[in-house]
Chains A and B, each alone.
Chain A
Amino acid sequence: MIFLNINNLNVSIEGKKILNDFNITINEGEVHAIMGPNGCGKSTLANVLAGNEDFEVNSGKIIFKDEDLLEINIEERAQKGLFLAFQYPVEIPGVNITPFLHAAINSKLKNENKSELDSLSFAKLLRKNAEELGINSDMLKRSINTGFSGGEKKRYEILQMSILNPELTIFDETDSGLDVDALRIVTEGINRFKNPKKSFLIITHYQKLLDYIHPDYVHVMRNGKIVKSGDISLASEIETSGYQNF
Chain B
Amino acid sequence: MNKETSHTLNKYAQDKYKYGFVTQIESEKPKKGLDEEVIKFISQKKNEPEWMLNWRIDCYKKWLKMSDPQWANLQFPEINYQDIYYYSAPKGFEKKPKDLSEVDPKLIETYNKLGIPLEEQKILAGVAVDAVFDSVSVATTYKGELEKLGIVFCSISEAVQTHPELVKKYLGSVIPPGDHSFSALNSAVFTDGSFVYIPENVKCPMELSTYFRINAEETGQFERTLIIADKGSFVSYLEGCTAPQRDTNQLHAANVELIALENAEIKYSTVQNWFPGDENGKGGIYNFVTKRGLCKGKNSKISWTQVETGSAITWKYPSCILKGDNSIGEFYSVAITNNFQQADTGTKMTHIGKNTRSKIISKGISLGNSQNTYRGNVSFLRKADKARNYTQCDSLLVGNKCGAHTIPYIDSKNNSAVVEHEASTSKINEDQLYYCRQRGLSHEEAVSLIVNGFCKQVLQELPMEFAVEAQKLVSISLEGSVG
Contacts and interface: CB of A to CB of B under 8 A. Distances in A.
Contacts of B434: 52, 74, 90
B45 interface: no
Contacts of B439: 78, 100-101, 104, 160, 164
Nearest to A79: B440
Interface in B432-483: 432, 434-443, 445, 449-450, 452-457
B429 interface: yes
A79 B438 CA distance: 9
A116 B424 CA distance: 38
B441 A107 contact: yes
B437 A78 contact: yes
Contacts of B445: 103, 107
B71 to A, nearest CB: 32
A93 interface: yes
Given A53-B3, A103-B449, A143-B453, A92 B438 contact: no
Given A75-B440, A103-B441, A107-B442, A90 B453 contact: no
B11 to A, nearest CB: 15
A89 B437 CA distance: 13
A101 B441 CA distance: 9
B420 interface: no
A24 B429 CA distance: 32
B431 interface: yes
A108 B440 contact: yes
A78 B435 CA distance: 11
A93 B435 contact: no
A94 B455 contact: yes
B2 interface: yes
A2 interface: no
A194 B160 CA distance: 74
Nearest to B446: A75
B432 A92 contact: yes
B453 A93 contact: yes
Nearest to A108: B440
B39 to A, nearest CB: 48
Contacts of B165: none
A94 to B, nearest CB: 3
A84 B450 CA distance: 20
Interface in A126-169: 143, 160, 164
A93 B436 CA distance: 13
Contacts of B438: 50-51, 74-75, 78, 83-84, 86
A54 B3 CA distance: 10
Interface string A103-114: 111011001000
A95 B449 contact: yes
Interface in A38-94: 50-54, 73-75, 78-79, 83-84, 86, 89-90, 92-94
B249 to A, nearest CB: 34
A99 interface: yes
Contacts of A107: 440-442, 445
A50 B440 CA distance: 11
Contacts of B443: 75
Interface string B17-50: 0000000000000000000000000000000000
A92 B440 contact: no
B456 A94 contact: yes
B118 to A, nearest CB: 31
Contacts of B78: none
A69 to B, nearest CB: 14
Contact of B435 (A54, A79, A86, A103): A86
Interface in B411-432: 429, 431-432
A53 B4 CA distance: 9
B440 A104 contact: yes
B452 A94 contact: yes
Contacts of B4: 53, 73
A73 B454 CA distance: 26
Nearest to B430: A54
Nearest to A111: B440
Contact of A78 (B3, B432, B440, B453): B440
A104 B3 contact: no
Contacts of B455: 94
B452 A92 contact: no
B436 to A, nearest CB: 7
Contacts of A143: 453
B64 to A, nearest CB: 48
B227 to A, nearest CB: 31
A104 B450 contact: no
A95 B452 contact: yes
Nearest to A78: B440
A100 B449 contact: yes
Contacts of A108: 440
B440 to A, nearest CB: 4
A177 B453 CA distance: 28
Q: Which 10 A-B pairs have the closest CB atoms?
A: A94-B453, A95-B453, A78-B440, A104-B439, A74-B437, A94-B456, A107-B440, A90-B431, A75-B437, A104-B440
Interface of B: 2-4, 429, 431-432, 434-443, 445, 449-450, 452-457
16 contacts: A73-B437, A74-B437, A75-B443, A78-B440, A90-B429, A92-B436, A94-B456, A100-B436, A100-B441, A101-B439, A103-B441, A107-B440, A108-B440, A111-B440, A143-B453, A164-B439
Interface of A: 50-54, 73-75, 78-79, 83-84, 86, 89-90, 92-95, 99-101, 103-105, 107-108, 111, 143, 160, 164
